[in-house]
Amino acid sequence: MSRIFSVLLMILVGGFGYFIGWRMNSGAGGKMADTYKLIRSYYVDPVNADSLQSAGVRGMLQSLDPHSIYLEPEKAAITQSNFNGNFEGIGIEFDVVRDTLLVVTPLAGGPSESAGIMPGDRIIAIDSKNVIGIKPSAVLGKLRGERGTRVSLKVYRPLTRRTIDFLVTRGKISTSSIDAAFLDDARTGYIRISQFVETTGSEFHNAVQKLRKMGMQRLVIDVRGNPGGYLDQAVVVADELLPAGKLIVYTKSRHGGDDQMKYVATSGGIFEKGQLCLLVDRGSASAAEILAGALQDNHRALLIGELSFGKGLVQRQFKLPDDSVVRLTVSRYFTPSGRQIQREYDEGLQGRERYYKEMFTRNLPGNFMKKYGGLMYREGQDISVYSTGNLLKSASADSLRAVLAKAGGIMPDYWVFGKPTSNLYQELYAKGVIEDIALKLIDDPSDPVQKYRSSVTSYLNGYRVPENLEALVRKGCADTKVTYDPAEFSRDRARIALALKARIARHLFGTEEQIRVLVREGDPVMKVARHFIEKKAS
């Protein structure tokens, strides 16, 4: 950058700052300043100036769309470190179960693993302060910190009934946005992307490379529950899968410039050929929908699952002087065919609340699918599969288009309805009964699960949940005041057993193996994906 250009840029920035200051002291900005003075001068109680300013910023953003938000400095720092794909801390995956901080697994190569902390350990004190009853939101603040600093941990190890003191030196921890990457069968790879962070593109490339060396010829990518993240990383992943010249996504903004872009695939992607499926659900949002739209519009992959979230707004992050952050919507994105997938919303706080609540309650598109979609396959009450290809031809096109435009999202090629879970099953998860049973079995030195600790392969192939599962569930319900329903247990026994096996796998071997158990033994959407990917390959 030349010196002349730098000077001009400084003049422009200074001029912009002067303009903003002038606006803030006149018109609408004057109202804010006058109200602030009135509160400071006349309000009955003392007020905190920073809190008032933060509330003002938050209020302005809440009057806009549901995705423009304000983050306090501490939350902004944690969020940014997650999106960066690394942070500084002790390196554990954790849960808070029954008020106790539980080590799910120490991250491979991290400080905790090096110190000898093991899966299943309970952290009962941090730096000599009791942490029984700690809230999940408070854990990161205590365990993360500057690289090279130390933290003392008092750990209870149930398997040996011992309490052990550890001194762990914090270090740089690399996190992964890919929760699992394994072969589902000899030729089919499976990759789950949990979010799109700065490292997702390179992580995905490495995962595909690893699976191809193992013999992978076709691929299932799972972005169910993926809330999105960096747009450019979704573009990188799409670029690995699409041939050169294919449009991936474009954005439109009233400001033009960097907020109005077009992204096109380049040559040399690692999996530009080969059968491909993408799994989506109502939790697949933003960058996940960019990937889905690019693959669907370019006829590169089959989309299987359910209608996605419907977020087509792009945010840019602006850092304020106190290190808080404003994440402001600056443009809208469109799929290659020109679809704008942002679902309908009302501005303001109430509209924002309705918008997120509807993520879990918008059943209307699904009802239309059951009524007008093409039923392709049904397996008792467990699985129903509908083709969406002729949907608009089956109902009044105008009325259905209005429904789908309001609902937004990316429509899968095949919509899968699974058997709804019973109230008992939902309560077992919500009240932590399945988690408690898993921990009791893992902590019992005499339980048969102990012989599977050293081999994930033998665990996956050989472990069976106890025959007295019903008795364990009954006791767990009694302990947590969950109403036990024998009929619901009988109907969902296989699902409860699978959830327990998966939970034990997570504690013994990590998240990837938990996902492998669920995907391999009980995932209806994955079962449908296997059918179509094999059919298309034959």
- Secondary structure (DSSP) of 176-202: -SEEEEEESSSSEEEEEE--B-TTHHH
Highest mean pLDDT among 45-49, 216-220, 355-359: 216-220
Give the pTM: 0.81
- Mean pLDDT across the chain, nearest whole number? 84
Question: What's the confidence (pLDDT) of residue 82?
Answer: 62
Instruction: Kindly report which listed range (62-66, 364-368, 473-477, 484-488) carries the lowest average pLDDT score.
Output: 364-368
HEC profile of 32-64: HHHHHHHHHHHCCCCCCHHHHHHHHHHHHHHCC
Question: What's the confidence (pLDDT) of residue 437?
Answer: 94
Segment 463-469 shows an average pLDDT of 94
Q: In the annotation, is 440 catalytic?
A: no
pLDDT-derived band at 112, boundaries 50, 70, 90: confident
Give residues with Cβ within 8 angstroms of 71, minimum separation 6: 79, 324, 325, 326, 327
Q: Give CA–CA dist 100/112, Å, rounded.
A: 18
Residue of higher predicted confidence among 345 and 262: 262
Segment 404-416 shows an average pLDDT of 86
Q: Is the pLDDT assigned to residue 195 strictly greater than 80?
A: yes
Residue written as token pair 């509330």: 55
Instruction: Kindly report which listed range (45-49, 92-96, 185-189, 403-407) carries the lowest average pLDDT score.
Output: 403-407
Residue of higher predicted confidence among 427 and 379: 427
Q: In the annotation, is 112 catalytic?
A: no
H/E stretch holding 92: strand 92-97
Tell me which of 142, 154, 246, 311 is the catalytic residue: 311
Where b means 16+ CB within 10 Å and e means fewer, 491-512 reads bbeebbbbbbbbbbbbbbbbbb
Domains of the chain plus CATH, in order, are 86-174 (2.30.42.10), 178-419 (3.90.226.10), 423-526 (no CATH)
Q: In the annotation, is 41 catalytic?
A: no
pLDDT-derived band at 534, boundaries 50, 70, 90: confident
User: CA quadruple 342, 347, 352, 358: dihedral positive or negative?
Assistant: negative
Tell me which of 112, 194, 284, 286 is the catalytic residue: 286
Question: What's the confidence (pLDDT) of residue 28?
Answer: 53
Question: What's the confidence (pLDDT) of residue 1?
Answer: 40
Residue of higher predicted confidence among 485 and 396: 485
Question: What's the confidence (pLDDT) of residue 25?
Answer: 46
Highest mean pLDDT among 257-266, 270-279, 419-428: 270-279
Query: By C-alpha distance, which of 285, 270, 185, 188 is closest to 236?
Result: 270
pLDDT-derived band at 317, boundaries 50, 70, 90: confident
Give tens-digit pLDDT for 7-48: 333 433 344 344 334 444 445 557 777 887 888 888 888 888
Beta bridge partners of 222: 192, 279
Beta strands in 265-322 (DSSP E): 276-280, 302-305, 313-319
Tell me which of 239, 281, 297, 523 is the catalytic residue: 297
Q: φ and ψ at 109, to 5 degrees?
A: 80, 5
Query: By C-alpha distance, which of 398, 400, 393 is closest to 367?
Result: 400
Query: By C-alpha distance, which of 230, 182, 226, 225 is closest to 202?
Result: 230
Question: What's the confidence (pLDDT) of residue 172?
Answer: 79
